């Protein structure tokens, strides 16, 4: 049986949650998207859902993934994975989510370069002192 344009339009209006997450490039594979939904890392309008949940335009999704905590509104549906510029058209990130993500990035930058003096590898000065004390040649 051959598909008509009407059938294609109806398919575009229906989309599973796991397929949409994969097509929108939040997850690299569809199975990773399914696992994330099953483990409660994806919520729709504040509710925990199943991977086969039918998506609708206007839904609000909360996605938690490693260091990313993002909230988006669905703008379009797609069952096909395309390039990143096209995938970005499928959703719109909320203003609160953008602000939260930027604040987290600044915090991570500040924490990254800090370490206690003397922790880790010895400094050049400490190496010279060790060499002088032990009498060894490094």
Structure confidence by residue, pLDDT tens digits, 13-62: 789 999 999 999 999 999 999 999 999 999 999 999 999 999 999 999 99
Q: For residue 107, what pLDDT is reported? A: 76
Q: For residue 119, what pLDDT is reported? A: 76
Structure confidence by residue, pLDDT tens digits, 95-135: 999 998 888 877 776 665 566 766 788 889 988 988 888 88
Q: Does the reported pTM lie above 0.85?
A: no
Q: Is 18 exposed, middle or buried (0-12, 13-18, 19+ CB in 10 A)?
A: buried
Sign of dihedral through CA atoms 56, 79, 62, 104?
Answer: negative
Q: For residue 52, what pLDDT is reported? A: 94
Of the candidates 74, 82, 67, the residue with the CA atom closest to the CA atom of residue 44: 74
Ramachandran quadrant class, 30 (left: phi over 0; alpha: psi -120 to 50; beta: rest): alpha
Q: For residue 104, what pLDDT is reported? A: 82
For the chain, the structural domain boundaries read 5-99
Collapsing DSSP to helix, strand or coil, 130 comes out as helix
Q: What is the CATH architecture of 5-99? A: Roll (3.10)
Of the candidates 38, 9, 37, 10, the residue with the CA atom closest to the CA atom of residue 21: 37
For residue 65, pLDDT over 70 is answered with yes
User: What is the pLDDT of the chain when averaged over all its residues?
Assistant: 85
């Amino acid at each position: 049986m051959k598909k008509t344009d009407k059938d294609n339009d109806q398919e575009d209006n229906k989309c599973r949650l796991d397929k949409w997450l994969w097509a929108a490039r939040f997850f690299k594979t569809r199975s990773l998207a399914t696992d994330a939904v099953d483990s409660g890392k994806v919520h729709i309008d504040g509710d925990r859902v199943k991977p086969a949940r039918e998506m609708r335009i206007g839904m609000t999704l909360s996605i938690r993934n490693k260091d990313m905590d993002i909230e988006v509104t669905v703008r379009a549906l797609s069952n096909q994975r395309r390039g990143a510029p096209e995938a970005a058209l499928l959703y719109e990130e909320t203003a609160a989510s953008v602000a939260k993500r930027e604040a987290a990035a600044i915090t991570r930058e500040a924490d990254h370069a800090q370490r206690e003096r003397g922790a880790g590898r010895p400094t050049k000065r400490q190496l010279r002192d060790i060499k002088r004390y032990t009498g060894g040649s490094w």
